[in-house]
Chain A
Amino acid sequence: MILEMKGIIKKFGNVVAINEVDFQLNEGEVHALVGENGAGKSTLMKIIAGVYQPDSGEIFVQGKKAAISSPSESQKLGISIIHQELNLIPYLTVSENIFLGREPKNLGFVDYKKMKRNTLELIKQFDLDLNPKALVKDLSIGEQQVVEILKALSLKPDILIMDEPTAVLTEKETSKLFELMQLLKKRNVSIIYISHRLPELKIICDKFTVLRDGKWVKTAEIQDFTEHDIANLMVGRELEDMYPSVPANIGKEILRVEGLTQSGHFNNINFSLKQGEILGFSGLIGAGRSELANAIFGGDPADEGEVYWKGKKIKYKSPIKAVQDGFGFATEDRKETGLILDMSIANNITLPSLKKYKRAGFVNKKSEYRDIQQQIKDLNIKLYNMYQAVKNLSGGNQQKVVLAKWLVADTEIFFFDEPTRGIDVGAKREIYHLISNLAKEGKGVIVISSELPELLGICNRILVMYNGEINGEFSHEEASEQVLMRKATGL
């Protein structure tokens, strides 16, 4: 046994995030840690990583009792963690980020040549087209995640903790990651793997542990359990039908995009969306899907081309007019573009729709409060006080706050960019039904997702983007993982 935790308790104020949890990790095993949003997975891992100190309990590394008082202490013990939220420095390059604080030196100076060489070696493992000298701020969120992974690998750890590494990766990068994990396993590295994508666990993990409400529920060999069993263990009850029926009541066209182009991002995009329709966008990281949504929404206007909203030509220079017209854009990166982290949950939810609550110049807190309560209830956002800072929520619950924002805003056309990123199975199911209900109410819905099963499950139509262009269109019936993957890779 390389790592053992005994009777760990961790409280945040009044919230018991980890409640007497025992956990064991064997050498060379890939151990899945699963549980609902807010179950305490990240907190438990942060205790191993030295970010948090437990209130009580003991940790043994390689059989020796360890007091992990800081992240550097944890690194010294051979532990390396890929955090759920990205922690890169935007204005440093890829290689500077990877070797931050451990720069290879030559006569006291940073040896940039060596750093670049080492970085390229790491990148090669991933078979990725990434420039070591690119600034991190210019990378897509998926590429940033890869940098985080490379950074963790460069430490050559004995214990590697991965907190939802695939949440922002597409199939291609994910399968590369799994190959890498197999390799690490052969080198006897022990891995703790957190993911809400249950199908992955079967592929890559040996064992699993379920947490629920901060408590240990089960540890077992993964081969003895089905995906469905694990999901039920997570939520503590029987889960039924993951995907709702695909919307059938399609109305008239509400959005039409013609020849939309933004240099460097996407080129000559044509598509349309009807009322009550769910349109999916599939593609690899960097295919230009998020940029396309952002351009239509006015976040970063396109260079050329036309957009028609209910037959009227529109050209939003900022999101203000777009939101007035009923556009809503739940962005993929909640930390950078989705939320004001230091603001309260409540104030985040109503930020785009404050106009609605204006009475004689003031914000009418009563009706605002009512709507917020409603969303918290509908989306099952797990919190203890809606006036706490949104950054204190677990990752999945933060994601729900992003969705709640646009539900409150009387949105008529939704752009959901990775809407279930980091969300647990039970909540995913709820979100699929919610999206489907929005469509049934006659709203237009565009879903950008890297999870093929979810696009296949809920969309009427799926467009595949490759290299900034639309490379295929499939109806719900025609689409399959194979064809989407083929089109996404440019075939």
Chain B
Amino acid sequence: MSNMQTSPEAKVEERSSSNNKFFIWLQYFWANYSVIFAFIILFILASIASEHFLTPLNLTNMLRQISVIGILAIGMTFVILIGGIDLSVGSVLALTGTVVMASQVDFGASIFTAILFGLFAGLLVGLVNGLVITYGKIAAFITTLAMMTIARSAALYYADAGAISGLNSDYTIIGNEYLFGLPIPVYVFIIVVVISFILLEKTAFGRHIYAVGGNSRAAHLSAVPITRVTIAAYMICGLTAAIGAVIETSRLNSVSTSSSGSMYELDAIAAVIIGGTRLTGGQGKIIGTVFGILILAILSNIMNLMNISPYIQGAVKGAIILVAVLLQKRS
């Protein structure tokens, strides 16, 4: 202990030359944000592969297309960070979309109220998921798998497996209009990202999320309200599904109870995993998920531009997920 008078900070200064500092920073950056490097490389490759890639129209279109899944993936990040999983988001998107459309069409609600109903429904489904998982002590995988079929079936039943189409064309503004050259859904996505980032990085709730995912027993004994944190994570996930539903339904002013949101949960989970969030929880970043979704977007975009058969695109995506996880295991 004799050499401990110097503060740890002074020690860092002492031990590392500026050169080394850069190296440490790089190491840290690589460990946490290797997905950003992957994105940059992919972006460059895509620009070289197709002259249509790097055009404003293509890029804004691509951004609009990913915003719904992107928003879902952000909610999914919370759930995976606590060591859970939510398979129900795609179906919840269909169900909350049905709520939004039906409120307008069948119950004459204003657009604003209809959206509120939809968001509320999303929170409610998340609450039910959370309650069953915490108090019912049923595994998240099972709980949300059940919710996936229940939510879808509820939507199908309500609309007789058909679509509900809106009459008020104002509603389509959200999904179709541009603001300063960018589609409105992209703004919604950015807002969701920023709020989530602040929640995770700047608040006690964020710390609690990481603590529960990292070691829930230790978190419990450190006075972390693990039950409440868990429920909140699923509610956030339900809410993002509902936000996604608003954008999705407003695009065509209609919800298809059979196909809306179908398989979205897989893309959302894939984006989170590619983004470097550990599937067992406790480690991961919102920024990672954002780049995870961008990587998925560029991939499908470039494959479309190059006329690669959509039937083989799934295989490429799957391979990318495996590579991403393999790379994470290394570091």
> A residues within 8 Å of B by Cβ?
13-15, 36, 213, 235-237, 294, 297, 299, 318-320, 322-324, 329, 331, 336-343, 347, 351-352, 354-355, 357-358, 361-363, 373, 376-377, 380-386, 405, 426-427, 430
Contacts and interface: CB of A to CB of B under 8 A. Distances in A.
A407 to B, nearest CB: 13
Contact of B220 (A319, A342, A363, A385): A319
Contacts of B11: 384
| CB-CB nearest 9 A-B residue pairs | A323-B223, A340-B214, A354-B204, A352-B222, A351-B222, A426-B1, A236-B2, A340-B215, A380-B4
Contact of A213 (B3, B202, B203, B208): B3
Indicate the size class of the contact surface on chain B.
20 to 34
11 contacts: A15-B15, A235-B2, A318-B225, A336-B215, A336-B218, A339-B218, A343-B210, A352-B222, A363-B203, A384-B11, A385-B8
A322 B223 contact: yes
A20 B201 CA distance: 41
A14 B20 contact: yes
Contact of B24 (A13, A355, A426): A13
Interface in B207-224: 207-208, 210-211, 214-215, 217-224
A235 B4 CA distance: 11
Contact of A380 (B1, B204, B214): B1
B217 A337 contact: yes
Nearest to A320: B223
Given A377-B7, A385-B8, A386-B8, A341 B1 contact: no
Contact of B224 (A14, A297, A351, A357): A351
Contact of B202 (A14, A294, A318, A362): A362
Interface in B1-30: 1-4, 7-8, 11-12, 15-16, 20, 24, 27
B2 A319 contact: no
B258 interface: no
B287 to A, nearest CB: 17
A41 to B, nearest CB: 16
Contact of A299 (B221, B225, B282): B221
B259 interface: no
Contacts of A383: 8
Contacts of B7: 373, 376-377
Contacts of B65: none
Nearest to A322: B223
Given A336-B217, A352-B224, 11 more contacts: A235-B1, A297-B221, A318-B223, A319-B223, A320-B223, A336-B215, A339-B218, A341-B214, A357-B204, A426-B1, A430-B1
A486 to B, nearest CB: 33
A323 B225 CA distance: 12
Contacts of B215: 336, 339-341
Given A338-B218, A354-B204, A36 B8 contact: no
Contacts of A297: 221
Contacts of B2: 235-237
A211 B208 CA distance: 39
B33 to A, nearest CB: 15
Interface of B: 1-4, 7-8, 11-12, 15-16, 20, 24, 27, 202-204, 207-208, 210-211, 214-215, 217-225, 282-283
Contacts of A336: 215, 217-218
A324 B224 CA distance: 11
B13 to A, nearest CB: 11
B282 A354 contact: no
Contact of A384 (B1, B15, B202, B222): B15
B218 A363 contact: no
Contacts of B207: 347, 351, 354, 363
A248 B33 CA distance: 55
Contacts of B221: 294, 297, 299, 319, 329, 331, 337-338
Contacts of B20: 14
Contacts of B282: 340, 342-343
A218 to B, nearest CB: 16
Nearest to A323: B223
A14 B218 contact: no
Of the candidates A337, A357, A426, the one having the most CB atoms from chain B within 10 angstroms of its own CB is A337
B4 A382 contact: yes
Contacts of B220: 299, 318-319
Nearest to A235: B1
Nearest to B206: A363
Given A13-B24, A13-B27, A361-B203, A340 B4 contact: no
Contacts of B225: 318, 320
Contacts of B4: 380, 382
B279 to A, nearest CB: 14
A468 B158 CA distance: 60
Nearest to A350: B207
A386 B12 CA distance: 11
Given A318-B220, A322-B223, A342 B1 contact: no
A355 B204 contact: yes
A14 B21 CA distance: 9
A445 B20 CA distance: 45
Contacts of A427: 1
A385 B9 CA distance: 7
A340 B211 contact: yes
A386 B1 CA distance: 18
Nearest to A365: B202
A337 B8 contact: no
Nearest to B27: A13
B37 to A, nearest CB: 19
Contact of A343 (B12, B204, B211, B223): B211
Contacts of B15: 14-15, 384
B12 to A, nearest CB: 6
Nearest to B224: A351
A235 B3 CA distance: 9
B14 to A, nearest CB: 10
Contacts of A318: 220, 223, 225
A347 B210 contact: yes
Contacts of A363: 202-204, 207
Contacts of B24: 13-14
B3 to A, nearest CB: 7
A144 to B, nearest CB: 15
A352 B211 CA distance: 11
B280 to A, nearest CB: 10
A384 B210 contact: no
A336 B218 CA distance: 7
B8 A376 contact: yes
Contacts of A361: 203
Contacts of B219: 340, 351
Contact of A340 (B1, B12, B210): B210
A322 B222 CA distance: 10
Contacts of A13: 24, 27
A347 B208 CA distance: 10
A51 B199 CA distance: 38
Nearest to A386: B8
Nearest to A36: B1
Contacts of A329: 221
B194 to A, nearest CB: 14
Contacts of B27: 13
Contacts of A380: 1, 4
